[in-house]
């Protein structure tokens, strides 16, 4: 275990380098994460850890994250197959027909929330509903960062509150509370936050949704869709399959494979796509000229190859997070802080902030949730605060903020799928930064506390 001074100095320098590289040097994330990884390797050697042990830390971290990396690849397959089948085209077509411009933002927020809640995955929601809403929003004249922020806010809400979400179950388990006690605690802050966000998006929708030129773009896109795809309810079967399998808690990679396979069958049978073209697109993505620039932007994407930038960046980020975790730098930093907390409001603030900092350091929320659950359990017990409050802060500080930190795997994925930088969409991902702040404010006001520890699981 390194000393507090070493842990604080090294993590501060690491974050300073990443932030300065992004905002001052305006350098690419790949190079920044690679140099950070090399620096952490040097620190590990200085702390007396052998190179072979450090190498094992990295490989073990990558092995543990392999399910997420596989999903990165499969998402490219899903996008390509959903486009070829006309699933995306049908959703955009009906979206343009049914959604009035002034209702686009609040309606899109509710749609993403419901799909994410049903499937338990924000990533799958962003990769399906997200790309559809981005195209609909663009045709209606909405700025891309605003639409991306709306999509991410809705997807994050559903993922956070769904009983079939992996992070929701992990947070409850890590804090030592029951799943539904955890959801009850989250509803105390997430409910008011969501209503505020819904009202703000309704106001923004009224502001952006009145430009007459937008309707011309929407009409042109409708005509192009009708000429390119067979618009039919059958093309929505892959989406329905995703919802059903997700709700039944089928592993996500199996859900994506099943949905993609059904989409390929529909593309072959309904859209007259050749088998060779379909199989090629799974790697190269869709490449089709329709004569409509906006539709070309929508459909010429996807494939395993398109995920290479995202996948390689995620590998570097996961490797860096593995070293930070296995070298115990964050644990050495957090434990002394947790021991000095005197007031309940300080405790909730500290665990939320620590989850956010851990998220930024470890690059993905799963490790941040587990680490902070271990560090803060006993502290919550000493203050007689229900551990469901701890699990709530773990999700507010990690699951939500992961979309806002440019080098996390979540932000990398969202940026690649939606085509908008995390720095651009972050101000409009209202729930993701508003919910943690509201949770902290309510703690200091003494609102929304659960003080009984009677609902702890038998494993704590």
Give the pLDDT of residue 51: 94
| pLDDT single digits (tens) 73-112 | 887 888 889 889 988 888 778 877 777 788 889 988 998 8
Residue 210 lies in a domain: yes
Establish if 135 belongs to a structural domain. yes
Return the pLDDT at 441. 93
Is 14 part of a structural domain of the chain? no
Note the pLDDT tens digit of each residue in 213-233.
Answer: 456 666 777 888 888 888 888
Does residue 368 sit within a domain? Answer: yes
38 occurs within a structural domain = yes
% of the chain beyond a pLDDT of 90? 28
Condensed to tens digits (0 to 9), the pLDDT of residues 290-334 reads 777 777 777 787 788 877 877 787 788 778 878 887 888 877 877
Q: What is the mean pLDDT of residues 253-280?
A: 90
Per the document, the length of the chain is 460
Domain membership flag for residue 195: yes
Query: How confident is the model at residue 119, as a pLDDT?
Result: 67
Could you give the percent of the chain with pLDDT greater than 70? 94
Distance CA 389, CA 355 (A): 13
The residues, ordered by sequence, that sit 6+ positions from 122 with a Cβ below 8 Å of its Cβ are 116, 152, 155, 156, 158, 159, 410
Range of the domain at 274: 30-453
Count of structural domains, the chain: 1
How would residue 456 be classed by pLDDT, with cut points 50, 70 and 90? very low
3-class SS of residue 251: coil
The answer, yes or no, to whether residue 460 has pLDDT greater than 50, is no
pLDDT of residue 280: 92
The band of 210, judged by pLDDT with boundaries at 50, 70 and 90, is low
According to the 3-state scheme, what is the secondary structure of 25-73?
CCCCHHHHHHHHHHHHHHHHHHCCCCHHHHHHHHHHHHHHCHHHHHHHH
Flag whether 6 is in a domain: no
Name beta bridge partners: 456. Answer: 177
Q: What rounded mean pLDDT belongs to the chain?
A: 84
pLDDT of residue 216: 66
Pick 458 or 168 by higher pLDDT: 168
Residue 19 lies in a domain: no
């Amino acid at each position: 275990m390194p000393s507090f001074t070493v842990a604080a100095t090294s993590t501060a320098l690491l974050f300073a380098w990443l932030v300065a590289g992004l905002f001052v040097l305006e350098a690419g994330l790949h190079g920044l994460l690679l140099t950070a990884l090399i620096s952490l390797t040097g620190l590990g050697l200085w702390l007396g850890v052998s190179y072979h042990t450090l190498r094992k830390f990295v490989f073990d971290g990558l092995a543990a994250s392999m399910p997420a990396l596989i999903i990165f690849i499969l998402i490219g397959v899903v996008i390509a197959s959903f486009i070829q089948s006309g699933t995306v085209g049908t959703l955009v077509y009906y979206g343009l027909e049914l959604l009035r411009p002034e209702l686009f933002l609040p309606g899109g927020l509710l749609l993403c929330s419901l799909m994410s809640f049903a499937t338990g995955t924000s990533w799958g929601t962003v990769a399906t509903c997200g790309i559809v809403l981005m195209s609909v929003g663009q045709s209606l004249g909405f700025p891309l960062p605003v639409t991306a922020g709306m999509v991410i806010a809705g997807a994050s809400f559903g993922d956070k509150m769904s009983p079939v979400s992996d992070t929701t179950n992990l947070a409850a388990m890590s804090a030592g509370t029951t799943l539904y006690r955890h959801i009850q605690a989250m509803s105390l802050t997430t409910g008011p936050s969501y209503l505020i966000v819904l009202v703000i998006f309704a106001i923004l929708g009224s502001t952006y949704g009145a430009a007459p030129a937008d309707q011309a773009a929407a009409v042109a896109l409708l005509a192009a869709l009708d000429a390119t795809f067979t618009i039919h309810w059958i093309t929505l079967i892959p989406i329905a399959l995703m919802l059903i399998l997700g709700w039944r808690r089928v592993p996500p990679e199996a859900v994506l494979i099943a949905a993609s396979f059904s989409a390929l069958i529909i593309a072959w049978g309904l859209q007259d796509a050749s088998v060779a073209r379909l199989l090629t697109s799974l790697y190269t993505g869709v490449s089709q000229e329709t004569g409509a620039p906006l539709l070309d932007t929508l459909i010429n994407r996807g494939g395993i190859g398109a995920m290479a930038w995202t996948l390689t960046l995620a590998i570097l980020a996961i490797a860096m997070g593995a070293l930070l975790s296995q070298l115990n730098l964050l644990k050495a930093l957090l434990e002394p802080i947790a021991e000095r907390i005197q007031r309940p409001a300080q405790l909730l603030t500290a665990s939320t902030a620590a989850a956010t900092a851990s998220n930024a350091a470890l690059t993905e929320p799963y490790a941040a949730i587990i680490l902070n659950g271990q560090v803060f359990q006993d502290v919550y017990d000493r203050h007689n605060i229900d551990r469901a409050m701890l699990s709530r802060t773990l999700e507010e500080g990690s699951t939500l903020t992961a979309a806002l930190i440019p080098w996390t795997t979540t932000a990398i994925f969202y940026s690649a799928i939606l085509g908008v930088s995390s720095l651009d969409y972050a101000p409009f991902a209202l729930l993701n930064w508003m919910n943690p702040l509201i949770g902290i404010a309510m703690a200091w006001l003494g609102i929304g506390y659960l003080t009984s520890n009677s609902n702890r699981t038998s494993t704590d």
